[in-house]
Amino acid sequence: MRFGTDGFRGPIETEITPEFCLNLGFHTGKIILEKGYDSVIIGKDTRVSGYMLESALQAGFISSGVDVKLAGPIPTPAVSFLTATYAGQFGVVISASHNPYEDNGIKFFNRHGRKVTENLEREIESRLSSAIKPVEASKLGKAFRIDSASGRYIEYCKSTLRGKHSFKNMKILVDAANGANYKITPMLLEELGAEVIRINCDPDGFNINVNSAVLNQSLFKKYAEEHKFDFCAAVDGDGDRLVLADADGIVFDGDDILYLLAKSNLERNVNGSNAVVGTDMTNQGVADALAKHNIDLIRSKVGDKYISRELVERDLILGAETSGHIIQRNYSESGDANIALIQVLTAIQESGVSLKEVSSEISKYAHNLESIAVKDKTIIEKEENQKALNEVKEKFPSARINIRASGTESKIRIMVESKDDKQNAQVLREIKSLIT
């Protein structure tokens, strides 16, 4: 198995098995010991399989001589925060993010709270076929629990506001996707003074991401019809993605958030705010709107780890995916739904404008996205298919076309963007006919 866009991910019965996790924990443990780490923090989302895989990973790391600190169910960005604040820590998250409960995954963070480098990914992959040889008994690692993990993370999120803002008189609906933020996001907002309506905040191990607004954005309209609120915040299963809506259920996605936060940073003269990082999926209309404020949009490959690497390399502070991964390096090295949420609410308070008014500043291009399930994702790499796809691109020069294999599922994702929705539909038809 190889690293995807966000670590290892797949079905627990065939790919992310206890045997795989035991092996992964042991060999990763041996590698990080060589690099000066002395322990690992393990967090997980609310999937029922998390307990099983946590035990297997724990056994693997301990057998390599690495101490393990268990943080329990906690969002991905909280593990990033903990690895960056504890000395000598490596971070592990057990989660398949937006996938159904039958899947699970493993992703890693380095001592800076960032996704690990490609070199470390390749080094781990190269050792996975080797046998496990536990260290002698006197050198085995030990296991501990971090009982204060959630509380520490919430306090840190609040500290990013530096005591200057409260959300009193705000009513916010939180859809936590029955995931890792089911307690943390409502608690954070309530401690900042908001009234919270809870939806999908009752995980049972099997209902993660089921009927959640972050994946099914038509639910925002339904929530607006059934409840009165000022804002609706939807997060995904592992808590690193945020999508917002206003009182009318109008969606405000990662592109809109990127634009709002970029403007806010510029107005406050924050260092490193002359450019932001998006991905190949970021709408060109956002780039056009940012350009009016002399803010450059730099595109990376799809995946928040690629955004993070561009931000670090260019010494910038803000990047985002359309799907809602928002990285604000002045607060966190990871995509963080909770910090993004309170920073967006703060920016709205300071500017006095509504989400709808912010969105009106962006003239988005027609944007069509479709995922096609396939048995073999490498089909698009075949020479004859590449030639045919290039012919389609040449035929429609005004369209921005991106075709890629999913890094998390057995799917090929197609994005077509232009100012002509009918043209987009035609391009999609031609590409789909080639793939299928």
**CA 33 → CA 88, 125, 221, 305, distances in Å?**
10, 16, 50, 23
Q: How far apart are CA 256 and CA 275, in angstroms?
A: 15
Selected catalytic residue, list 97, 150, 212, 308: 97
Q: Is 97 a known active-site residue?
A: yes
CB atoms within 10 A of CB 395: 11
Q: How far apart are CA 424 and CA 181, in angstroms?
A: 36
- Characterize the bridge pairing of strands 296-300 and 242-246: unpaired
Q: How far apart are the first and last CA of the chain?
A: 25
Consecutive H or E run containing 172: strand 171-175
DSSP string, 96-164: -TTS-TTEEEEEEE-TTSSBPPHHHHHHHHHHTTSPP-PPPGGG---EEE-TTHHHHHHHHHHHTTTT-
Provide CB contacts within 8 A for 400, sequence distance 6+. 284, 365, 415, 416, 417, 418
The residue with tokens 């866009």 is 5
Q: Please provide residue 233's backbone torsions phi and psi, each rounded to the nearest 5 degrees.
A: -115, 125
Q: Are 321 and 337 in contact (CB under 8 A)?
A: no
Ranges assigned E (strand) in 176-270: 195-199, 231-235, 242-246, 251-252
Q: How far apart are CA 414 and CA 28, in angstroms?
A: 34
Q: How far apart are CA 25 and CA 33, in angstroms?
A: 12
Q: Are 242 and 233 in contact (CB under 8 A)?
A: yes
Known catalytic residues are: 97
